[in-house]
Structure 1
Amino acid sequence: MSSKDITIRDIFEEIPQRLSRILSPAPIKELLPTNFPSTELRVDFLAKLEDESILHIEFQSFNDPNMPFRMLRYYIAILERYPGSLIKQLLVYVGNRKLRMKSRLRLRNLTFSYEILDIRQIDCKVLLESPDPMDRLLACLCKVEDEVYLIEKLIKTMESMNEEERKDYLLKILTLTELRPNLRIRLTKEVRHMPIVVRPEDIKLPKRKLKKDLLYRLGLEEGKQIGIEEGKQIGIEEGRKEGEVIGIKKGLLKSAQEMVIAIIEAKLGYVPEEIANRIREIKDVEFLRSLAKKLVSASEDFMQVLAIELKIS
């Protein structure tokens, strides 16, 4: 299970007040167990509503062509546990790409359907004005027209928390915004000076992705406050081996190169080898930082900006 799936499940264990009202057709009466040991299935969210129906919500971060079959398996498992109940199923898509999944399954002897909602249909301001911090957290995934306002509200939410609560909340935000790369870049730059220590083991990413992660690289680059401790240690060790000044310069250059590569990967979904090699040949840190800013703000002309700046055809 991905870190994003785990984070969303954790959030819904606390039932975000406003979002649950948006997603649920009736008030929630009680939460139900989400695991089905006999089938090895587990759903994301299951509850009994005040009208005695059963609500099943599943969150999906990518387009899965087999989703109708998965939802059917969940439906059968729920119905076996609660026979005779009216079951309402909702698939909430939280991914970054265009929603392409179907909400209906038609076979020769079977027709099955469920509701489907792209969370970006919900205005983030609706959740940001909620008194529930979990609602504001999930606003990151909704329709965002004013990123500055969103980030301000999230930072203000964290101000009233103790250090451990702030750290947990921030990690949840950073995990969710892996699904919104541009927002994550901007958010990371805004919160990196907050007095919170985040270690590599706190960022639930595979090692190969961890060293590309923007938050991790900012730790290598700055080595303070929200900087990651392992990043600081790498900087110290390199400084001892090759001389402090040389070590810092090398660390800054590598960090800047990997930052540009990570932005390209977030935009395209992959990095052409020719472009990755070209970036690693660049030794000018300021040029790389300037390039990173241009790429973040570029949209339809992204490839054109890349080609002009890197002087490639």
Structure 2
Amino acid sequence: MSSKDITLKDIFEEIPYRLSRILTPAPIKELLPTNFPSTELRVDFLARLEDESVLHIEFQSFNDPNMPFRMLRYYLAIWERYPNSPIKQLLVYVGNRKLRMKSKLRLRNLTFSYEMLDIRQIDCNVLLESPDPMDRLLACLCRVEDEAYLIEKLIKTMEGMNEEERKAYLLKALTLTELRPNLRIRFTEEVRHMPIVVRPEDVRLPKRKLRKDILYRLGLEEGKQIGLEEGRHIGLEEGKQIGLQEGKQIGLEEGLLKSAQEMLIAIIEGKLGYVPEEIANRIREIKDVEFLRSLAKKLASTSEDVMQVLSTELRIS
């Protein structure tokens, strides 16, 4: 199970106040067990509603062509356990790419369907104004028009928490924003001075992804890190830590530049499935962080031909 899946499950165990009212057709009466030992299946969210129906919500962070078959398997397992209850299924897509999955399955003797929602259809401000901290956290995944305002609200939410609560909340935010790379860069820059120590193992990324992550990049350069205990040099490996705390900012500019370069390369790889060597080399020659971020944002949202955009922006013939 990925760190994003774990975080979403953790959040929904607390039933976010406002989002639950957007997603559920009736008020929640009780949460139900999400595991089905006889089938080795586990769903993301299962609840009985006040109208006595059973609601199943599944979160999906990438386009899976087999999703209709998965949802059918979940449906049958739920029906076997609750045969007398109407079953409602909702797939909530939280990925960064365009939603391309189908919500229907048509076989020779079977027609099956379920509801599907791209979470970016929800205005993040609806959740940011909620009194529930978990709603504000999930706003990261929704449609964001003003990133600065969203980050301000998240930071303000953490102000009333104790140190452990702040750390847990920050880690959830960092995990969810893996799905929104541009927001993650900006959010990490804003919270880097908070008196919270975040270790690589806390972020729960595979090593190959950790090395590309902005938290790692900010503390790169032979283990130099951002402001931990008045700028002491503490490395990343073997218990060495990335510190998000006030102090000397060692290697910050270089870390931000490398993070922006690697983030752009990762987006290109996600779009094309590979990165031409000429383009990768050209990107690593660029020292303008703002230009790299702007190009990454453009590529992440463009419907134009990626190679044409790169040729124009990077001036490659």
Structure richer in helix, relative to its length: 1
1:180-191 correspondence to structure 2 within 5 Å: 180-191=180-191
Say which SS state the counterpart of residue 151 (structure 1) adopts: helix
Sequence identity percentage:
75
Equivalent residue letter for 2:262: I
Q: 1:122 to 1:230 in 2, by over 3 A?
A: farther
* Per-residue deviation, 1:262: 2.2
Indicate the residue corresponding to 1:78 in structure 2: 78
Aligned twin of 1:57? 57
User: Is it true that 1:261 corresponds to 2:262 in the alignment?
Assistant: yes
Q: Specify the code of the residue in structure 1 equivalent to 2:63.
A: N
RMSD, aligned CA: 2.8
1:279–1:125: structure 2 CA closer, same or farther, 3 Å change rule?
Answer: closer
Corresponding position of 1:312: 316
Counterpart for residue 241 of structure 1: none
Q: Deviations over 1:35-73 (max 9, x none)?
A: 001100000000011111100000011111111110110
Separation in 2 of the partners of 1:294 and 1:85? 50
Is the aligned partner of 1:232 residue 2:218?
Answer: no
Structure 1 residues 195 and 68: CA distance shift in structure 2, 3 A: same
1:275 counterpart letter in structure 2: I
TM-score by length of 1: 0.85
Number of residue pairs aligned between Structure 1 and Structure 2: 295
Q: Cα distance 1:19–1:252, how it changes in 2: closer, same or farther (>3 A)?
A: closer
Which amino acid letter does the alignment assign opposite residue 100 of structure 1?
Answer: R
Select which of 215, 225, 229 maps to 1:223: 225
Aligned AA (1:39):
T
Partner of residue 275, structure 1: 279
**What's the CA shift for 1:274?**
2.6
Which residue identity lines up with residue 272 of structure 1 in the other structure? P
After superposition, residues 1-313 of structure 1 pair within 5 angstroms as 1-220=1-220, 223-225=225-227, 232-233=234-235, 256-257=257-258, 259-266=260-267, 268-269=269-270, 270-280=274-284, 282=285, 287-289=287-289, 291-296=291-296, 298-299=298-299, 300=302, 307=311, 312-313=316-317
Distance (whole Å) between structure 1 residues aligned to residue 311 and residue 258 of structure 2: 16
Stretches of structure 2 lacking an aligned partner (at least 5 in a row): 238-249
Q: Is the 8 A contact 1:220 1:255 kept in 2?
A: no
Task: Please tell me the residue identity of whatever aligns with 2:31.
Answer: L
Measure the CA separation in 2 of the matches of 1:208 and 1:230: 26
Q: Does structure 2 conserve the Cα–Cα contact (< 8 Å) formed by 1:182 and 1:296?
A: yes
Contact 2:181 2:263 in 1 (8 A): no
Given the two structures, how large is their TM-score scaled by the length of structure 2? 0.84
C-alpha contact (below 8 Å) 1:199/1:230 kept by paired residues = no
What stretches of structure 1 of length at least 5 have no aligned partner? 236-247
Whole-Å separation in 2 of the counterparts to 1:68 and 1:226:
48
Structure 2: distance between partners of 1:231 and 1:267: 33
CA distance in 2, matches of 1:266, 1:80: 42
Measure, in 1, the Cα distance between the counterparts of 2:210 and 2:216. 7
CA offsets 1:266-298 (integer angstroms, 9 cap, x no match): 355153333333445x4x8xx253543443454
In the TM superposition, what whole-angstrom CA distance separates every residue of 1:77-113 from its partner, at most 9, and x where no partner exists? 0011111211011111111111111111111111111
Contact 2:260 2:293 in 1 (8 A): no
Report Cα offsets for 1:105-147 as digits up to 9, x if no partner. 1111111111111111111111000000000000001111111
Q: Quick one: which amino acid aligns to residue 189 of structure 1?
A: E
